[in-house]
Amino acid sequence: MGLVDGRIAIVTASTRGIGRACAVKLAEEGAKVYVAARNRERSMALVDEIRAAGGKADYVRFDADDKATYAGCVNEVLEAEGRVDILVNNYGATDVKRDFDVEHTSFEDFQDIVMDNVQSVYNTAQAAIKGLAEGGSLSIVNIASTGGVYPDLSREAYGLAKAAIIRLTKDIAIQNARRGVRCNVVCPGSIATDALMDNMSEEFIKSFLTTIPMNRLGEPSEIADAVLFYASDMSSYVTGGVMEVGGGTGLGSPMYPLYQMMQARG
């Protein structure tokens, strides 16, 4: 019997990287997972993969270009299943060409990036809480970043957005604890996703690793393990928690190599 056997889970932005790892992990542990993403073809490929492995999965549309799908995807699952037990808010976005520092980032770009990251968490969580039946339970696991915990030399809008998600997590936790809602947040450091690796040369990676005390990148599966902990009864007495999964990121040297790469891109 799996750690989340029989539960209904939604994982946003779940066709790649961390989101995909979370969807697969929850399915392996017995949940029926709704792959919430924009690209139906990629989503259904993951759904088929989970089903072929003996798990349960389905697709629901979640599209950052159509904000109505934020609450909409939750409501669709509520209508189909009658409940949502686990909500993993994995969606997040940045724009290294627009997000630098106070001197170089326009307020319009700053605002867009912050809102892009925070709104999906707010809207999906709100819909899931509204749909919670009397006596039911709900575990919300938000994905933020160590960039929301520690100051950085660039990406200030992204960092602030992730800090806001950490604060929102705590607000949701304290406001809804007596209703059967637990809300926690996982803060990944630098994780070896395709999105990251495609933008890093071998030379840059070697330099970048010197900023991480454990001297390696994390794996998406390591974030999925943290998400499973919060989603399952292993954390039944935990709400408002903030778990950093970053190999000690933020405890060592400032991220100068990353800053230099951002500056070089202009």
Q: Among the ranges 83-92, 96-105, 206-215, 245-254, which has the highest mean pLDDT value? A: 83-92
Q: What percent of the chain has pLDDT over 90?
A: 74
* pLDDT band, residue 5 (cuts 50/70/90): very high
Active site residue 158: yes
pLDDT, tens only, 218-230: 999 999 999 999 9
- Kindly state the tokens that stand for 166: 């950490």
Average pLDDT rounded to a whole number, residues 251-257: 58
Taking the C-alpha atoms of residue 245 and residue 93, their distance in angstroms, rounded to an integer, is: 19
Domains of the chain: 8-265 (3.40.50.720)
Q: What percent of the chain has pLDDT over 70?
A: 94
Residue 82 region by backbone torsions, left for phi larger than 0, else alpha for psi between -120 and 50, else beta: left
Task: Give the closest residue to 47 by CA, choosing from 154, 101, 56.
Answer: 56
pLDDT, tens only, 85-97: 999 999 998 776 7
Annotated catalytic residue within 59, 158, 237, 256 = 158
